[in-house]
Amino acid sequence: MLLNYAEFYPAQHYVLILQNRIVKTEFRYRYFVLIRSRFEAIEYKYTDDQIFALRFASDIEFLPLIERALVENLSGNTIKKAITHWKGDYNRV
């Protein structure tokens, strides 16, 4: 049985939205563990692109890059290029 595109696209779209929500939840948890403060208080200042890029930073680089991203309004690609100790996400769909 072939799955037509009209049936596949909504399912794929749903998975990507869900995955982004999970990444943000993991990011909030990591921020809380490392900083001992809730990220939700400042989350509105960051774009999704910045948050998705910052998750690749090692624990040592995490806080400085969070501050730089806000102060310098870094793009996601710029953040990724600034990371020297990469923390990969190998479970992304």
CB neighbour burial string for 27-52, b if at least 16 within 10 angstroms, e if fewer: beebbeeeeeeebeeeeeebeeebbb
Tens of pLDDT along 17-52? 888 999 999 999 999 999 999 999 999 999 999 999
| Sequence-distant (≥ 6) Cβ neighbours of residue 83 within 8 angstroms | 56, 57, 58, 61, 65
- Report the candidate in 67, 12, 20 with the shortest Cα–Cα distance to residue 39: 67
Tens of pLDDT along 43-93? 999 999 999 999 999 999 999 999 999 999 999 999 999 999 988 776 665
Model pTM score: 0.80
Q: For helices 59-71 and 5-35, give the axis angle rounded to 10 degrees.
A: 100
- One DSSP character per residue, 32-63 reads HHHHSS-GGGTGGGS-HHHHHHHTTB-HHHHH
